[in-house]
Amino acid sequence: MTAAKQSPKKAAGPKKAAAPKRAAAPKRAAAPKRAAAPKKTPGAKKAAAPTKAAGTQAAEAEAAVRPVPASRSAFAAGAARATGERRRRSGTPLITSATPLEVSAARRDATAALPEDASLPVAGDATAEKDRSAGTPTRKRPPRRAIRDRREQRARERALRPVPSLPAPDEKVALLAEPAQRHTDSAPEPATGPAGLAEGLQHTAERIVGAVLEAAEFSSEARPGPAELVELAVNLLRAAATAAGVPAEEVERQVAETLAYVRRRLTGDYTVDEFGFDEDYTTHVHLPILRPLYKSWFRVEVKGIDNIPDTGGALVVANHSGTVAMDSLMTQVAVYDEHPRHRHLRMLGADLVFQTPFVGPIARRSGSTLAANTDAERLLAGGHLVGVWPEGFKGVGKPFSDRYKLQRFGRGGFVAAALRAGVPIVPCSIVGAEEIYPMIGNMPTLARLLGLPYVPITPTFPWLGPLGAIPLPSKWLIEFGPPIDTTAFGPEAADDPMLVFDLTDQVRETIQQTLYSLLMQRRSVFI
């Protein structure tokens, strides 16, 4: 197909390209070319016949191309690729005979003639297009005999090749560099005739696949240096980035950052604090993973971020909902991204979180710790911003019919912790989390079996299997209310249960009222 398509484009300078090629690789291609030539011409003639009626110019151009073996050489290259010849050739980089190098030199010549050629088909008229499409099926496969001949020829050639002795290390490096060079040389070769977007894409794909194939065979026969692999990876990435419409520099920066991160992970060159918080991981992995959800899926809107102090401890108290505790993660992103000081929200989680494999260490790394008074007070005393969801599982696992109805706020332990540490309490109301997994039923027996507080039934789970784990894209609003000062009461007030209950109720009422007003402001659940 490609050979047939390329033939008219080569009309201007095929001889130039073909001549050195023939001279350079006579042994390889001479026999098959001769064999292929008579067979191909009738096919091309057949293809050209209908076009003659449409436009004689194009037919003439075609006729001029046909006898020239350039089309056959491109064709042979395609066939060779298909039979793995090129792979085998480039897989033996240690040969001292100059054959592959000469081939590449010829190709360089061929590609040097490219620019003038490339303009031709774009300007070409409709008939040429038609001709091309008509010509495609006839020249799809090379003749069997040609392939067989070539194979025999190659086998003879290989038998004659000298077997190189083990090279010295520095020699090896030089030899390793060679295939890469050859690869970059031969890379533009398929681009001999990029006509239109589809073909361009095809060539790019070919190039990428070729690069991958060559990389694969290097690793099996002669190990490539890391530099070559990196170069290959960078090229692939650049191509992918341009395809996705993202600036390549941006992607490169991102990749460099990621690599630096991986290096730090490899050497253990990062620190965790006493709660297991790993800032490097949180800013480079945890938050970037959540950000698409935050920005594009839930489109979180944050109000009153100024109510979170710039420095010092504070206790953020929020409502809990949504079957899966996604609201705490989104609040974490909201605080880090929206707050001018990019503070990390240190969350207090249930025992269950830290018992669960994979979830437990991730929670610790991203700044969570056990919801216990000792930990809360230690964090607050250390001047951290602490987030707590006092409703716990009662809030997350409440049925959809109870949405936006606050449950009991624990035993007020969070208020006692704030009083002891003398930090303000920031009430936080989250709207939107209730609708992500509307819990319309529960499977208590299964939950008991699995040791979970509940196993939800939602409109999508478990009916759709893993698809049911996709949250509904509700619109979220998070509002941080004005901080409630606790310093006025003094630390001994923590031992006054009446005051603690009063404060708990005050926080709870504030959040409930804010929830109602936010619900009034929200235009729709999903918009």
Exposure string (b/e) for 48-83, b if CB count within 10 Å is 16 or more?
Answer: beebbeebeebbebbeebbebbbbbbbbbbbbbbee
Q: Which stretch binds another protein (CB under 8 A): 55-63, 246-254, 439-447, 448-456?
A: 246-254
Q: CB 456: neighbour CB atoms within 10 A?
A: 22
The smaller minimum CB distance to another protein, of residues 38 and 358, is found at 358
The residue type at 429: S
Q: Which stretch binds another protein (CB under 8 A): 117-125, 132-140, 266-274, 488-496?
A: 266-274
Q: Which residue in 125, 152, 257, 485 binds another protein (CB under 8 A)?
A: 257
- Please say whether the beta carbons of 71 and 192 come within 8 A: no
The smaller minimum CB distance to another protein, of residues 58 and 241, is found at 241
- Please say whether the beta carbons of 194 and 117 come within 8 A: no
Contacts (Cβ under 8 Å, ≥6 apart) of 365 = 272, 276, 277, 278, 281, 282, 286
String of DSSP letters for 153-215:
HHHHHHHHSPPPPPPPHHHHHHHHHHHHHHHHHHTTGGGG---HHHHHHHHHHHHHHHHHHHH
Helix 14-24 × helix 70-83 angle, to 10° = 50
The smaller minimum CB distance to another protein, of residues 162 and 466, is found at 466
Helix (H, G, I), strand (E, B) or coil at 140: coil
What's the chain's length in residues? 527
Stretch 349-388 residues interacting with another protein (CB under 8 A) = 351, 354-358, 360-361, 364-365, 369-370, 372, 374-375, 378
- Please say whether the beta carbons of 25 and 99 come within 8 A: yes
Q: Which residue in 109, 118, 199, 270 binds another protein (CB under 8 A)?
A: 270
Distance CA 300, CA 293 (A): 9
Distance CA 436, CA 473 (A): 7
Q: Which stretch binds another protein (CB under 8 A): 168-176, 258-266, 425-433, 489-497?
A: 258-266
The smaller minimum CB distance to another protein, of residues 271 and 401, is found at 271
266 binds another protein (CB under 8 A): yes
Helix (H, G, I), strand (E, B) or coil at 300: coil
Stretch 54-83 residues interacting with another protein (CB under 8 A) = none
Give the residues across from 429 on adjacent strands. Answer: 479
Q: Which residue in 125, 171, 249, 250 binds another protein (CB under 8 A)?
A: 250
Question: Residue 38 Cβ, how far from another protein at the closest point, in Å?
Answer: 52
Distance CA 44, CA 140 (A): 11
285 binds another protein (CB under 8 A): yes
The residue type at 509: E
Q: Which residue in 172, 265, 303, 403 binds another protein (CB under 8 A)?
A: 265
Q: Which of 370, 328, 378 is nearest to 348 (CA)?
A: 370
295 binds another protein (CB under 8 A): yes
Q: Which residue in 174, 262, 449, 450 binds another protein (CB under 8 A)?
A: 262
Q: Which residue in 9, 40, 48, 281 binds another protein (CB under 8 A)?
A: 281
Segment holding 515, helix H or strand E: helix 497-521
Burial class (CB in 10 A: 0-12, 13-18, 19+), 367: buried
393 binds another protein (CB under 8 A): no
Question: Residue 108 Cβ, how far from another protein at the closest point, in Å?
Answer: 35
Q: Which stretch binds another protein (CB under 8 A): 68-76, 123-131, 347-355, 495-503?
A: 347-355
Segment holding 279, helix H or strand E: helix 279-281
Question: Residue 267 Cβ, how far from another protein at the closest point, in Å?
Answer: 6
Handedness of CA 322, 325, 326, 327 (dihedral sign): positive
Question: Residue 333 Cβ, how far from another protein at the closest point, in Å?
Answer: 11
The smaller minimum CB distance to another protein, of residues 356 and 521, is found at 356
Handedness of CA 285, 289, 292, 298 (dihedral sign): negative
Distances in whole angstroms, Cα of residue 180 to Cα of each of 170, 235, 297? 16, 13, 43
Helix (H, G, I), strand (E, B) or coil at 162: coil
Question: Residue 383 Cβ, how far from another protein at the closest point, in Å?
Answer: 16
Question: Residue 330 Cβ, how far from another protein at the closest point, in Å?
Answer: 15
Q: Which residue in 49, 272, 464, 470 binds another protein (CB under 8 A)?
A: 272
The smaller minimum CB distance to another protein, of residues 367 and 427, is found at 367
Q: Which residue in 245, 451, 465, 466 binds another protein (CB under 8 A)?
A: 245
Q: Which stretch binds another protein (CB under 8 A): 78-86, 264-272, 413-421, 512-520?
A: 264-272
Q: Which of 138, 137, 124, 21 is nearest to 70 (CA)?
A: 21
Query: Binding mask 398-417 vs another protein (x if CB under 8 A, - otherwise)?
Result: --------------------
Question: Binding residues for another protein, how many (CB under 8 A)?
Answer: 50
- Which tokens hold the place of 290? 């959540």
Distance CA 208, CA 216 (A): 12
249 binds another protein (CB under 8 A): no
Q: Which stretch binds another protein (CB under 8 A): 36-44, 51-59, 92-100, 270-278?
A: 270-278
444 binds another protein (CB under 8 A): no
The smaller minimum CB distance to another protein, of residues 126 and 262, is found at 262
Which residues are at the interface with another protein (CB under 8 A)?
Answer: 244-246, 250-251, 254-255, 257-259, 261-262, 264-268, 270-276, 278, 281, 284-285, 288-289, 291-292, 295-296, 351, 354-358, 360-361, 364-365, 369-370, 372, 374-375, 378
